Each structure stands twice: as structure tokens, then as C-alpha cells.
């Protein structure tokens, strides 16, 4: 029970970070799953872990995009065009992922994450001028290559989409992050469909996912009423959809988000999902269960993440995250190499 509560709040934290920087959170979820199950020896271990990660990414990106849509900072035309450019690349990434062992997957993951962390860190210190009409052909090409890496590694790619859109296409930072999350939602959904057809994500587990989504919906509704109550008690009239965020808003969104998480978690416990045979037998079921907990937590973090992004921007988060990712990349390479050499 304690570990389940831990995982659900880890999901909540990942969701906050993802919303701030315009990512689905896979860049944190995948290393965590690799560290939780370092000796997962299935012949298709990397497929299982990355596919479960895409479930978490999709729901985070979906709810984050809904919040961004309310603030009207998504470029839908570019988002759809760039998604169209990304989808063919997803198939390439999935094919590569299918061909590599878990040890090599860890090495490749770390080797790609390290330069991404360096780029993200350097990019966070630069202010870029913006323009209204980006080069859409360039945007589609960028999306194509990012999606190869993203689908190979089981991440959404938002940690790269946002900075590259701002740097090369001259998007405003908030618009770059919001459009990035919109694209990640589309691409992760396509990967989920492919993996379900391949039976990497068994269709029979969809019923449990739908049940958790009901728990999430109840938690969101409960959090909404708590948020309204706190707004009256704190005399806070700020509107997130108008980019109005004051100091009082942040504890309000934090408390209502935590309350939503606890409501969803209570329903999760009452349902006894964790004791279902599908989740007890084998490591696959345990990984899927942790993914559901990540999803239940992350789904309640989008309003707080959006408020933090509007009030403070995402540069400070990106710098801390970039340094952490660099360390994670090095450790992941080490663990992957140790697994290959039997050390």
C-alpha cells in the first residue's frame, strides 16, 4: 500500500514537470521503470517498458493539452502538420526498439539522453525572438527525426520538441511547450494502437485501464469543487484560461491536485485492482500496475504545472532537469553495460 501511494505521487510529480516543459513525462518514467525492474529478462523487455510508458505519456499529454487549450496557446495547424510528419518515423522507432535487447536499450537510452540534456541546459539560457509564421516544412522534418528517437526510447519527445520549436522555428516558449504536448498526445496514441495490435499491450488489460480512468475522472471532479471552495475562501479570482496566476493560486492548485490524487487512490484501493491475477503473476503485470499508478497521479497535475509555467516559466525547471537527466543517462549506460558483460 505504501509503495502504491509512492508511485501515484511520483506520477503526480512527473506530470507537473511534464506540463511545465511541454512533455509527457516518459523521459522520467522510462528510467524509473528500468530501475524498478533492472533484471526484467523477457525477450521483449524493452518493448514492454516503453509501451507502458506510452500509456502514461498519452494521458498526461491529453490532460495537459486540455489545460493548454483553455489558455489558447496551442498552434493546432502546426501541431497536426508536424504530427503527420512524425507518424511515419514512429514505425521506424518501433522497429528499432523491437530488435534490441534490454541491455543495449539502456546503453542507447543513456547515450541519447546525455546530449539531449546538454542541449536542453544550454538552450534554457538563450532568449529567442519569435515569429508568427514558422517554416512548416522544417517543422515536419524536425518532428520526423525526433519521433524516431522518441519511439525507440519509449518517450514522447516533448523534452526535444519544445526547445527545438523555440530555437529553430521561433515559437514563443509557452506556445512551443503547448504545441509540443499536443503532438506528443497524438504520437503516443498511435504507438499505443500499434503496440495493442502487436499484443505487447494486451487488450484484456484495457478494462482495468478504463476503470482507472473512471477513478481519475471522479478525482478531477472532486478536485474541481475543492478548487472552487478554496478560491472563495482565499478570495482568489484569477482565471487560468486568461493566464492569470497569483501567489495564492499555487497552493490552491497544489492542494486541489493532491486531494484529487487521494480520491482516485482511495477508489483504486477499494476496487482491489492491485490484487487481480493479471497484476500479481509475472513482472509484466507489475510494470503495468505501476504504469496505472503513474497515470492516476500524473492526470491530476496539469493545472498546477500550467500555473507554474505561466508564473515562472520553465527555464529553471529545464536546467535542473537537464542536469538530472545527464546523471540518469550516465547511470543507465553503466547498468546496461554491466548487464551485457555480466558484472
CA distances from 292 to 16, 37, 54, 287 (A): 17, 16, 11, 9
Maximum CA extent, the chain: 61
Q: What is the pLDDT of residue 124?
A: 63
CB 287 within 8 A of CB 49: yes
Q: What is the pLDDT of residue 44?
A: 67
Helix axes 282-298, 26-36, angle to 10 degrees: 150
Q: What is the pLDDT of residue 315?
A: 64
Quote the pTM value: 0.83
What value, to the nearest 5°, has the Cα angle with vertex 79 and ends 298 and 213? 30
Regions of the chain where pLDDT drops below 70:
1, 22, 37-44, 123-130, 204, 206, 240-243, 274, 276-283, 313-318, 339, 342-343
Distance of CA 118 to the CA centre of its chain: 20
83-125 pLDDT, tens per residue? 999 999 999 999 988 888 777 888 888 888 888 778 777 766 5
Residues 304 and 69: their CA atoms lie apart, in Å, by: 15
Q: What is the pLDDT of residue 50?
A: 86
Residue spans of beta strands (DSSP E) within the chain: none
Q: What is the pLDDT of residue 175?
A: 86
By residue count, the chain amounts to 343
339: which 3 cell numbers?
548487464
H or E segment at 88? helix 76-99
Q: What is the pLDDT of residue 87?
A: 92
Residues 41 and 283: their CA atoms lie apart, in Å, by: 9
280: which 3 cell numbers?
500479481
> Residue 140: how many CB atoms within 10 A of its CB?
16
Percent of the chain with pLDDT over 70: 86
Amino acid at each position: 500500500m505504501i509503495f502504491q501511494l509512492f508511485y501515484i505521487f511520483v506520477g503526480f510529480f512527473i506530470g507537473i514537470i511534464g506540463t511545465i516543459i511541454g512533455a509527457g513525462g516518459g523521459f522520467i518514467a522510462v528510467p524509473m521503470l528500468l530501475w524498478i525492474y533492472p533484471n526484467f529478462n523477457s525477450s521483449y523487455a524493452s518493448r514492454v517498458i516503453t509501451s507502458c510508458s506510452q500509456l502514461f505519456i498519452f494521458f498526461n499529454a491529453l490532460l495537459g493539452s486540455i489545460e493548454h487549450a483553455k489558455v489558447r496557446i496551442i498552434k493546432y495547424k502546426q501541431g497536426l502538420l508536424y504530427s503527420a510528419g512524425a507518424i511515419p518515423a514512429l514505425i521506424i522507432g518501433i522497429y528499432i526498439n523491437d530488435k534490441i535487447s534490454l541491455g543495449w536499450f539502456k546503453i542507447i537510452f543513456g547515450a541519447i539522453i546525455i546530449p539531449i540534456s546538454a542541449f536542453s541546459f544550454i538552450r534554457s539560457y538563450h532568449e529567442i525572438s519569435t515569429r508568427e509564421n514558422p517554416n512548416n516544412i522544417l517543422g515536419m522534418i524536425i518532428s520526423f527525426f525526433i519521433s524516431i528517437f522518441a519511439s525507440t526510447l519509449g518517450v514522447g519527445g516533448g523534452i526535444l520538441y519544445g526547445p527545438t520549436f523555440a530555437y529553430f522555428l521561433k515559437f514563443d516558449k509557452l506556445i512551443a511547450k503547448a504545441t509540443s504536448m499536443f503532438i506528443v498526445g497524438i504520437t503516443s496514441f498511435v504507438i499505443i494502437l500499434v503496440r495493442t495490435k502487436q499484443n505487447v499491450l494486451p487488450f484484456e488489460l484495457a478494462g482495468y485501464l478504463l476503470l482507472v480512468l473512471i477513478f481519475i475522472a471522479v478525482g478531477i471532479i472532486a478536485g474541481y469543487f475543492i478548487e472552487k471552495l478554496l478560491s472563495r475562501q482565499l478570495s482568489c479570482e484569477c482565471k487560468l484560461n486568461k493566464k492569470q496566476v497569483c501567489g495564492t493560486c499555487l497552493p490552491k492548485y497544489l492542494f486541489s491536485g493532491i486531494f484529487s490524487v487521494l480520491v482516485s487512490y482511495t477508489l483504486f484501493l477499494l476496487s482491489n485492482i492491485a490484487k487481480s491475477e493479471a497484476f500479481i503473476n509475472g513482472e509484466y503485470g507489475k510494470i503495468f500496475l505501476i504504469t496505472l499508478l503513474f497515470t492516476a497521479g500524473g492526470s491530476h497535475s496539469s493545472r498546477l504545472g500550467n500555473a507554474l509555467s505561466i508564473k515562472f516559466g520553465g527555464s529553471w525547471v529545464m536546467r535542473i532537469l537537464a542536469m538530472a537527466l545527464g546523471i540518469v543517462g550516465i547511470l543507465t549506460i553503466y547498468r546496461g553495460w554491466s548487464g551485457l558483460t555480466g558484472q
